[in-house]
Amino acid sequence: MTDHTESRGNRWLVLLLCWASFTMTSADRSAWGPASAEVGAGLGVSLAGLGGFATAYYAGYVIASAFGGVLADRLGGRVVLSGSLFAAGAFMVLFGSSPSAGAGLALQALIGLFAGADYAAGVKLVTAWFGERRRGTAVGVFLTATSLGTVLANAIVPTLIEGSGWRASYHLFGGVSMALAVLCLLLLKDGVSAGESAWPDPRPLLADRNLLLLGLAGFGGLWGTYGFVTWSNTLMVKGGGIDPVTAGGVVVLFGIVAVVCKPLIGLVTDVAGWGRKVPAAVVLLYFSFALLVFGTMDSAGAFLAVAPFLGLGAYLYSPLMVAMIPGLSGERLTGSAAGATNALWQLGSVTVPLVIGAVYQATGSFPAAFAALAAGPLAGAVLMAFVREGQTVKVNRGIG
């Protein structure tokens, strides 16, 4: 449908804009990690209470993921992606002017609520423009956004905080997000399946065993990934005794390796035709082990040495799992399936900030916090073993 020679230029422009949009929502989300301690000090929030802000964000994100994919299937990815990015950016700017902890908590939930639709809309657009033979590579490029967003936030936010305070970082990231949203609205083009007359019927997805298992496995993976992104800066400063800028540098190294390796693993699986289930399970197992190793480190040099290896595990399972979704759901329901599985995945992000905060506060142990993080990807690897790759859901024509 989408691999026509005459569409090649449009295809890469769509991928570029989807990638840029997802990079900004990822940077917006990742800004919390390096900013959280300063936000807590400025708004009068305890260390354990900081986890509530991350949970508020991800609660909104899960809701948007569940419904944003259905909207993308019906309205097209262009409108949903542009609108969600613009609204998320606007609430980022407002969060940067929060007068109180209560207002900040509500604004974090609103940022997540609008940012969450960006992912499913992006997957819908990438799937529409890239066929199965190129999909792993395209998804790998698209998903470098999550790690690059982490890199940008940790490279920029600590320095901005030192010079201008935490509020400046939210004003900057929010403003860039809004400007990019306008560009996406003007330049993006939907695939030919967008805007069909009937609302897609997502009910078959809810009963599909393979998508459910994929969603639960991703829950375990993101438990580790975003638990690390959310808490690593604060844990390294409080429990590891290193300064905030160095902690940000550790997370930069953690994320930057995935920028190169995500497209590479997609390309390798596309060319080799191995399937994506087994490599994803292996990466999750490796990630669990790497988290345990990181939790035993106790110096800036050790954190910096281990961080790139941890980044490989934290991000390389995601392009493999996302590229499996269209084959399980069928292209018509790709947005809905991406949104539904991402909603399950992000439940890991919702729960892990509170759990890790409670574990560290109760034990005061850096290794214990990372052992709790490692449990997630270990469970995800086990669940991936039961996924049957390539079994497509039987799709109804639509409703309405």
Domain boundaries, the chain: 8-192+202-384
Give mean pLDDT, residues 125-151. Answer: 83
Residue 43 makes CB contacts below 8 A (sequence gap 6+) with 98, 100, 101, 104
pLDDT > 70? residue 4: no
Determine the pLDDT at residue 395.
47
pLDDT > 80? residue 344: yes
Residue 207 to residue 229: CA distance in whole angstroms: 32
Residue 98 to residue 174: CA distance in whole angstroms: 14
Give mean pLDDT, residues 168-192. Answer: 90
Q: Binning pLDDT at 50, 70 and 90, where does residue 218 land? A: very high
Expressed in angstroms, the distance from the first to the final Cα of the chain is 25
Q: What is the per-residue pLDDT across 325-335, written as a single tens digit (0 to 9) for each? A: 877 776 677 77
Percent of the chain at pLDDT above 90? 28
Residue 303 to residue 242: CA distance in whole angstroms: 10
Determine the pLDDT at residue 7.
61
Q: Are 376 and 220 in contact (CB under 8 A)?
A: yes
Q: What is the per-residue pLDDT across 66-92, written as a single tens digit (0 to 9) for each? A: 788 888 888 888 999 999 999 999 999
Q: Binning pLDDT at 50, 70 and 90, where does residue 205 land? A: low
Q: Give the ranges where the chain is alpha helix by DSSP (H).
A: 8-30, 32-43, 47-75, 77-95, 101-129, 132-164, 166-187, 203-206, 209-238, 244-272, 277-294, 300-329, 334-363, 366-384
Q: Which amino acid is at 131?
A: G
Tell how far CA 71 is from the center of its chain: 19
Q: Binning pLDDT at 50, 70 and 90, where does residue 284 land? A: very high
Query: pTM of this prediction?
Result: 0.73
Residue 322 to residue 135: CA distance in whole angstroms: 10
Q: Are 353 and 55 in contact (CB under 8 A)?
A: yes
Residue 326 to residue 335: CA distance in whole angstroms: 9
Least confident stretch, 24-38, 78-92, 101-115, 126-140: 126-140
Residue 266 makes CB contacts below 8 A (sequence gap 6+) with 135, 136, 137, 138, 139, 140, 141, 319, 320, 323
Least Cα distance to 204 among 328, 388, 324 occurs for 328
Percent of the chain at pLDDT above 70? 89
pLDDT > 70? residue 246: yes
Q: Are 283 and 320 in contact (CB under 8 A)?
A: yes
Least Cα distance to 280 among 271, 269, 270, 291 occurs for 269
For residues 190 and 289, the model is more confident at 289
Q: Are 26 and 112 in contact (CB under 8 A)?
A: no
pLDDT > 80? residue 132: no
Tell me the two tokens of residue 173. Answer: 């990231």
| Max mean pLDDT range (23-37, 118-132, 137-151, 163-177) | 163-177
* Largest separation between any pair of C-alpha atoms in the chain: 60
pLDDT > 50? residue 1: no
Q: Are 128 and 192 in contact (CB under 8 A)?
A: yes
pLDDT > 60? residue 96: yes
Determine the pLDDT at residue 8.
62
Tell me the two tokens of residue 52. Answer: 């509530």
Determine the pLDDT at residue 198.
53
Residue 100's region, left for phi above 0, alpha for psi from -120 to 50, else beta, is: beta
Q: Binning pLDDT at 50, 70 and 90, where does residue 194 land? A: very low
Determine the pLDDT at residue 390.
64
pLDDT > 50? residue 6: no
For residues 318 and 17, the model is more confident at 17
What value does the mean pLDDT of the chain take? 83
Q: Tell me the β-bridge partners of 199.
A: 399
Q: How many CB atoms lie within 10 A of CB 79?
A: 19
CATH 1.10.10.10 fits 8-192+202-384, yes or no: no
Tell me the two tokens of residue 114. Answer: 């609008």
Tell me the two tokens of residue 98. Answer: 């929060």
Give mean pLDDT, residues 28-40. Answer: 85
Tell me the two tokens of residue 72. Answer: 């993308």
Least Cα distance to 120 among 80, 147, 60 occurs for 80
Residue 189 to residue 194: CA distance in whole angstroms: 10
Backbone angles phi, psi at 342, to 5 degrees: -65, -35
